């Protein structure tokens, strides 16, 4: 099972499929991440606010997988915006993860009401220069957040992680990211499980002997998007990484494109 890599503007590369750990129950973190690593996932997406960085770190340490074969992302939480808070925030995350650097550090939300995301971005530029994060990026930034950041930035964000699934395709944000050399990463790639059996997609899935989730993840992959599906069930985790042995036709991609209905599952970035 070979997960392709996508090049980042930092010179690093990111496995196109990773494992998200949002809402993995406290008593289950290490087992779930260990299972993911066992199944071949090499890219783990966590965040300070998920309160599971220590479990992720313990599973990584127990795996014995060489550090340079792993891609670990964590995120700066909303209470840590600003130059003074950002550096201690990543140091604490690294301590919990048991790592001396992460592969990707993201500003979790722009929190426009604080008017601090440009200052915070400069702190991330320093964090990258110190080697604490190989690549830096943002999450939940829409074009009207990214433009002022880019106007002031020395480093262009490598990644923008946004809510993205067939019911909510964020076409303007994806185009803006692409125009600026920023790779789009989809959170809730399966709509947090809200994607119901759509007749057209079910027929596509049956024709390949794949599940609905596999077809949706394949749709993301063929658009060049990074995906980080989450599950705590071994079978589903195995299913979600088993998407590199079939290819959707253009007509099938268009059937999924047509599912757009503005159906966000979480908050709007201007309201957080």
Q: How is residue 124 written in tokens? A: 């991330």
Q: Is there binding between residue 36 and ligand NAD (CB under 6 A)?
A: no
Binding segment for ligand NAD (CB under 6 A), chosen from 16-24, 93-101, 121-129, 199-207, is 16-24
Identify whether the C-beta of residue 159 lies closer than 8 Å to the C-beta of residue 185: yes
- Considering only 120, 135, 139, 184, the residue that binds ligand NAD (CB under 6 A) is 139
Please give the torsion angle defined by the CA atoms of residues 94, 100, 104 and 110, in that order, rounded to the nearest 10 degrees. 40
Q: Is there binding between residue 140 and ligand NAD (CB under 6 A)?
A: yes
CB of 135 to ligand NAD, least distance (A): 15
Q: Is there binding between residue 30 and ligand NAD (CB under 6 A)?
A: no
CB of 51 to ligand NAD, least distance (A): 13
How many Cα atoms occupy the beta-carbon half-sphere of 151 within 13 Å?
8
| CB closer to ligand NAD out of 58 and 251 | 58
How many Cα atoms occupy the beta-carbon half-sphere of 179 within 13 Å?
10
CB of 119 to ligand NAD, least distance (A): 20
How many Cα atoms occupy the beta-carbon half-sphere of 33 within 13 Å?
31
Give the DSSP per-residue string, 36-100.
HHHTT--EEE--GGGT-HHHHHHHHHHH---GGG-EEEEEE-GGG-SHHHHHHHHHHHHHHHT-S
Please give the torsion angle defined by the CA atoms of residues 137, 257, 255 and 238, in that order, rounded to the nearest 10 degrees. 20
Query: Quick one: which H or E segment has residue 208?
Result: helix 199-208
Q: Is there binding between residue 231 and ligand NAD (CB under 6 A)?
A: yes
- Considering only 193, 245, 249, 268, the residue that binds ligand NAD (CB under 6 A) is 193
Identify whether the C-beta of residue 48 lies closer than 8 Å to the C-beta of residue 74: yes
CB of 271 to ligand NAD, least distance (A): 13
| CB closer to ligand NAD out of 192 and 222 | 192
The CB-nearest residue to ligand NAD is 20
- Considering only 107, 229, 255, 256, the residue that binds ligand NAD (CB under 6 A) is 229
50 classed as catalytic: yes
Q: Is there binding between residue 188 and ligand NAD (CB under 6 A)?
A: yes
CB of 104 to ligand NAD, least distance (A): 12
Q: Is there binding between residue 157 and ligand NAD (CB under 6 A)?
A: no
Beta strands in the chain (DSSP E): 5-7, 13-15, 19-20, 43-45, 71-76, 102-107, 133-139, 159-163, 183-187, 226-227
Q: Is there binding between residue 158 and ligand NAD (CB under 6 A)?
A: no
Task: Name the residues annotated as catalytic.
Answer: 50
Residues in contact with ligand NAD by CB under 6 A are 20-22, 45, 108, 139-140, 161, 187-193, 211, 213, 228-231, 236, 239-240
């Amino acid at each position: 099972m070979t997960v392709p890599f996508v090049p980042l503007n930092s010179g690093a590369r990111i496995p196109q499929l990773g494992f998200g750990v949002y809402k993995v129950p406290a008593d289950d973190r290490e087992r779930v991440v260990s299972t993911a690593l066992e199944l071949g996932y090499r890219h783990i997406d966590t965040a300070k606010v998920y309160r599971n960085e220590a479990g992720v770190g313990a599973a990584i340490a127990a795996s014995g997988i060489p550090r340079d074969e792993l891609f670990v992302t964590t995120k700066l939480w909303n209470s840590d915006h600003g130059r003074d808070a950002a550096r201690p925030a990543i140091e604490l995350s690294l301590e919990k993860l048991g790592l001396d650097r992460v592969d990707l550090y993201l500003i979790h939300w722009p929190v426009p009401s604080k008017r601090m995301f440009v200052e915070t971005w400069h702190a991330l530029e320093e964090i990258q220069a110190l080697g604490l994060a190989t690549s830096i990026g943002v999450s939940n930034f829409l074009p009207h957040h990214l433009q002022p950041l880019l106007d002031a930035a020395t480093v262009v964000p490598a990644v923008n992680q946004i809510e993205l699934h067939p019911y909510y395709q964020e076409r303007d944000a994806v185009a803006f990211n692409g125009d600026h050399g920023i790779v789009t990463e989809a959170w809730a790639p399966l709509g947090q499980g809200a994607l119901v059996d759509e007749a057209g997609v079910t027929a596509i899935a049956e024709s390949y002997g794949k599940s609905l989730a596999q077809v949706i993840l394949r749709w993301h992959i063929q658009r060049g998007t990074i995906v980080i599906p989450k599950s705590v069930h071994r079978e589903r985790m195995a299913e979600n990484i088993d998407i590199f042995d079939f290819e959707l036709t253009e007509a099938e991609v268009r059937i999924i494109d047509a599912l757009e209905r503005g159906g966000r599952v979480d908050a709007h970035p201007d309201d957080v």
